[in-house]
Amino acid sequence: MVHFYMFLILCVFLVILPGPDTAIVTKNTITVGKSGGFKTALGTCCALCIHTAAAVLGLSAIIVKSALLFAVFKYVGAVYLIYMGVKTLWSLKKKDDTAASVEMNIKSQFKNASCFKQGFLTDLLNPKVAVFFLTFLPQFVVSGSHTFFPFLILGVTYIVLTALWFLFYVYIINYISAFMKRPKTKMIIEGITGTVLIGFGLKLALEKVK
């Protein structure tokens, strides 16, 4: 393993870069609360554990090299992201009830849908995460050496940094939630989030299989 500190610095920038995981965590923190954000982040980290294990065991390489498997993961992940985006935008049409009633319905809806499951599936069904692990991690492993433990250490490091970032991020979002939970602000954020999720889904679906 080489340039571990450089790996840490790059990971920090990659972790805080907004993506589908950040959109889901933001949405669930605002709609459900701090617990919803933490459960979503936990789901994301659990999915990253699976990606790390797959990379260590070489399974990710099979997925990346197989056009069929990559396409299956790509389209399933894209459909799920688009579904989440459409569902979020569709919920904006149901704002005719009283504010209290709407909030109770939304909280109930998202608790039933499971914030953990949303975070888990969003990350797990994204084949670009598998590609990331197979292309990024090897840059910091000595060529010709055993890769099991170096890959494991690098993968766990990335997961820990992701968990720490989301812990901080959820607290910040929850702290300013009084402003963000205002009806108008909430509708704008949900609209943006829904659009972003659909955009990520379409981008993933149109990604060329290499």
Phi-psi region of 27 (alpha: psi -120 to 50; beta: other; left: phi over 0): alpha
- What amino acid is encoded at 193 in this protein? T
**Mean pLDDT, rounded, for 147-174:** 90
- The mean of the pLDDT values for the chain is 78
Longest CA–CA separation in the chain, Å: 64
Distance CA 35, CA 110 (A): 12
- What amino acid is encoded at 60 in this protein? S
pLDDT digits (tens, 9 = 90+) for 105-150: 445 444 545 899 999 998 998 877 877 777 777 777 766 556 678 8
Residue ranges covered by each domain of the chain = 4-8+21-205
- What amino acid is encoded at 22 in this protein? T
pTM of the model: 0.73
The per-residue pLDDT for 49 is 94
Distance CA 179, CA 106 (A): 18
Query: Rounded to 5, what percent of the chain is helix, strand, coil?
Result: 85, 0, 15
DSSP assignment letter at 208: P
Q: Please give the residue that has the higher pLDDT: either 210 or 80.
A: 80
